[in-house]
Structures are given as structure tokens and as C-alpha cells.
Structure 1
Amino acid sequence: MTPDLETRWQTLDHEWQSASRALEHALNTHHDLSLSEYRVLAALEAKHDHHHRMQVLADLAGLSQSATTRLVARLEAQDCGLLARYMCPTDRRGVYTEITPAGLTKLARARQTVQETLHDLWDTENQDLKK
């Protein structure tokens, strides 16, 4: 029998929360990054020119514009230097955020941790299903 939609949604939500908690812990422990910071770095890296307007970045990261601004400011800070902001050359109201070489390096290291964490999480779940 097919579970009803609410049961399917609850199962998906539980899996999402479990994976998010595991990723948050692993990224924070090994790379001093939050999951939201990782999402921002990954969204910028994925674009061929490595930059996005702030409002687009907020949508991609699932954050409010003010939360994105604070996050970008942290990652742009002198001691971090993972991102840089600059004004749009054709629209002075627009602000772009760009990932720096240091950000790309940190993302590559963090991505390995993300892959390992997800592998461990889902491999463990698959083993539980086999029992």
C-alpha cells in the first residue's frame, strides 16, 4: 500500500533534517563553516563566472536578504576572505558577491567532507534496511 502524502512528506522531512544536522556538525567541526555558508559558496562556485547578485544568492541559499548580507559579510571579512562584494557596473543599486580563490579552496575541502558525511549517513541507513 502506498503511504498517504502526509506520511511521505513526514518521512522526507525527517531525512532532510537528519542529513542537515549531520552536515552542519561535520562542516562546523572540520571546516568552521555552517551549512548555509557552504550552500552560498557552492552556489557561487556553480555559476560559470562565480558571482551572483545578492538577492539571487539569498534565494539559492534559502535565506532572507538580511541573513545573506550578514553571512556574506562574515565570509568577506579580512580574516576569512572567502567572498568579495562589488557594485554592478551597469546598475549602481545592484551588489554582486563573488567567491575568491581562497573560497574555492575551502569549498573543495568542505565538499569532500559533505560527500563522506552523506555516504556514511546513507550507507548506514541502507545497512539498517537490510537487517
Structure 2
Amino acid sequence: MSVQDSAETAVLVSEWRDLLARHAATACALDRELSERFGLCMSDFEVLERLAEAAEALRVQELAEKVHLSQSALSRLIGRLEKAGLVQRAMCEADRRGIYVTLSAAGDERYQAARPLHREVLARSLAGHRPAGG
């Protein structure tokens, strides 16, 4: 390995570690502040937001891909959100194995209330780390 390769590798590793640290700090801040004020964790908020942005109900599999959770982890999360009255599940009429998820009125209300705090935490946590033009 040349000195240049070693220097480039060190930069890559440093950038990777910085990315991980920023992600962890942002995730912890989101979890803490969303939980304290709205009873939501970061993943709860992400699911509510994806459902709020969707033009129609989303299949659990499609939602799992969007929020980067396994289907089993997402199913547990959806179960908690459904129990809290924030989402609704329905069976797919065409494919009885499929399950659709929609945002309830209470879920939309909680999402809309939590959204400004979410954006505030992102702005605070990611300040100075945005790419040029972003």
C-alpha cells in the first residue's frame, strides 16, 4: 500500500466515522426530544411522515423499504402505533397476505404537531454539515 493510498484511506475512514457520529448524535437528539414532547421515537416519526406523504395507503413491505427497517421490526412498530390510535391496518383485498397501513386522523395531528420539532432538531444537529448548494 502506497503512502497516498494510506492517506486516502485515513481520510475515508475519518469521514465515515464523522458520518456515524453525526447520525448517532442526531438520532439520539430526535429520540429524546420527540419522546419528551410527543411520545414518539425517531422511527415512529419517520413512519408517520412517510404515511403523511403518501398519496394512498402503503403496503407494509413498501413502507419497510422506505424507513429502512426489517418487516418484523416495522410490524412491531406499526402495532404500537395502531394501539396508540395513530395508524390503521387493513388487509389487501387482492392479496390476503398483504397489509396496508394508513395514517389516522390522530396520527396526522400528532405528526403535524411534531414536525416543526423534528425539523428544528435536524437543523441544529446538521448545521455546518450540509453539502454545497443544499
2:3 corresponding residue in structure 1 = none
Q: Which runs of 5+ in 1 are unaligned?
A: 127-131
Per-residue CA deviations over 1:11-52 (Å, capped at 9, x if unaligned) read: 111111111111110000000001111111111111112x21
Partner secondary structure for residue 98 of structure 1: strand
1:83 corresponding residue in structure 2 = 87
Partner secondary structure for residue 85 of structure 1: strand
Q: How many residues align?
A: 122
Give the TM-score taking structure 2 as reference length. Answer: 0.82
Q: Which runs of 5+ in 2 are unaligned?
A: 1-6, 130-134
Q: Rg bigger for which structure?
A: 2
| Contact in 1 for aligned 2:22/2:126 (Cα 8 Å) | no
Partner secondary structure for residue 113 of structure 2: helix
Partner secondary structure for residue 95 of structure 2: coil
Partner secondary structure for residue 102 of structure 2: strand
2:115 corresponding residue in structure 1 = 111
1:129 corresponding residue in structure 2 = none
Aligned partners of 1:118, 1:63: CA distance in 2, in Å? 20
Give % identity.
34
Aligned partners of 2:126, 2:64: CA distance in 1, in Å? 28
Aligned partners of 1:121, 1:54: CA distance in 2, in Å? 30
2:67 corresponding residue in structure 1 = 61
Alignment match of 2:38 (pick from 31, 36, 40): 31
One-letter identity of the residue aligned with 1:10: R
Aligned: 1:52 with 2:58: yes
RMSD: 1.8
Per-residue CA deviations over 1:80-100 (Å, capped at 9, x if unaligned) read: 211000011211111111111
Give the TM-score taking structure 1 as reference length. Answer: 0.84
2:24 corresponding residue in structure 1 = 17
Alignment match of 2:125 (pick from 121, 125, 130): 121
